Structure 1
């Protein structure tokens, strides 16, 4: 299958998925979400790969959801439809019978950060910029962000990170246990190559059985979180604070929230 927003490459048992909208810092529009969902769903039946690497083309991993699409007045952005798509994407990726690695350089923000956190392993350059920054436009994390963040750091810390919405460097994210391995700038690919070589030489099937057991106990919870995110995001989209947050973002000013 041909994809417009993804690049797919496979070397041996390592399959690399590259988010490919570099002109938009790989922000995730409806088409990219659809293509990722379809690809990961089909990948459940693949027997040629053991490891899946997720990375971004150009200057960033992903700047998050496509703000321009959200601002469109042509009726192309339907929040209910988008949330339904994100539910399918998160579940397809979380239940993928492969070892998944997010390789982060540049920005991984919002929805992009949710996808990173859904991965089994996270590698990031020291200067990478990671942020669960939905709060800046008065929204809640989506794409399973609440669930994946909580799995990494626990509920109290997850709340703090969501509510602060601050940007962290790769080094800071590593210190907060959000990133498994921090890499010197410019050495991400070399480190990734070494890491994937180690993984493919490991007893991968045994590792995947453990993943299946552990994730199997959590899938229903993830579904509940995704349903909660969909309801909350739909409500927040029409709230005055969100409209103020978007206007402030577009006009590069500090928002004045009132709710």
Structure 2
């Protein structure tokens, strides 16, 4: 299938999915969200591909959700449609019958960071800019961000990271357990190539069975988290703090939040 904002290439048992909106730092608009959801749902039926690598074209992995999309989705139904695509995308990704690897360089923020840490293995370059930074515009993580943060660092640390919204480099994220390996800038692709070769020469069917056991067990929780994120995000979008956060972002200034 031909896509507008992503590209899927295959080489025997390995597939590489590239996010292709480099002019927007691969920010996810409505088209990309739907294409990712469609692609992951189709890949669920793949029997030959055993590893999927996700990377971004240009200067970044993904800057997250497209701010222009947020500004334009003023109608509740439009917002529901966007969140539905996000839920479809993450549920399908979580159930993929293959090892998933995020190859991160540049920014991986917001929804882009949720997708990265949902992967089985996250490789980040040392000067990557990693952030669960929804708090900066008065929102909560979506795309299962709460679920995947808890999976990686536990509830107490996840709350602190989400509330702070700090931009981390590769080493900082590694020390927290949010990524699994850090490499020098420009070397992520080389590392991923070596790592995929190692996995493909391993008893990968046994690895995939382990993944299925864990993910099948936790799927109902992910579903519940996605539903709660939708409900909470609707509430947050109606707050004065969110409107101030968006306005400050567009005007490139520090927001003045008032707790309302």
Q: Give the shorter-chain TM-score range.
A: over 0.9
User: 1:226 maps to which residue?
Assistant: 226
Provide the alpha-carbon RMSD of the alignment: 1.3
The CA deviation at 1:154 is 0.1
User: 1:162 maps to which residue?
Assistant: 162
- TM-score normalised to the size of structure 1? 0.97
User: 1:124 maps to which residue?
Assistant: 124
**2:113·2:132 contact (CA, 8 Å) conserved in 1?**
yes
Q: For the structure 1 residues 73 and 141, does the alpha-carbon distance in structure 2 shift closer, same or farther, using more than 3 Å as the test? A: closer
Task: Confirm whether residue 199 of structure 1 aligns to residue 190 of structure 2.
Answer: no
- Provide runs of 4+ in structure 1 moved above 6 Å: none
Deviations 1:198-232 (A, max 9, x none): 01111111111111111111100101100110000
The CA deviation at 1:31 is 0.7
The CA deviation at 1:75 is 5.8
Q: For the structure 1 residues 130 and 73, does the alpha-carbon distance in structure 2 shift closer, same or farther, using more than 3 Å as the test? A: closer
Residues in 2 aligned to 1:29 and 1:108: alpha-carbon distance in whole angstroms: 15
User: 1:248 maps to which residue?
Assistant: 248
User: 2:46 maps to which residue?
Assistant: 46
Residues in 2 aligned to 1:76 and 1:224: alpha-carbon distance in whole angstroms: 21
Q: Which moved more, 1:71-80 or 1:37-46?
A: 71-80
User: 2:171 maps to which residue?
Assistant: 171
- Which stretches in structure 2 are left out of the alignment for 5+ residues? none
User: 1:66 maps to which residue?
Assistant: 66
- Which stretches in structure 1 are left out of the alignment for 5+ residues? none
- Mapping for residues 23-38 of structure 1, pairs under 5 Å: 23-38=23-38
The count of residues paired between Structure 1 and Structure 2 equals 259
Q: Equivalent residue of 2:33, what SS?
A: helix
- TM-score normalised to the size of structure 2? 0.97
Residues in 2 aligned to 1:28 and 1:207: alpha-carbon distance in whole angstroms: 31
**1:149·1:158 contact (CA, 8 Å) conserved in 2?**
yes
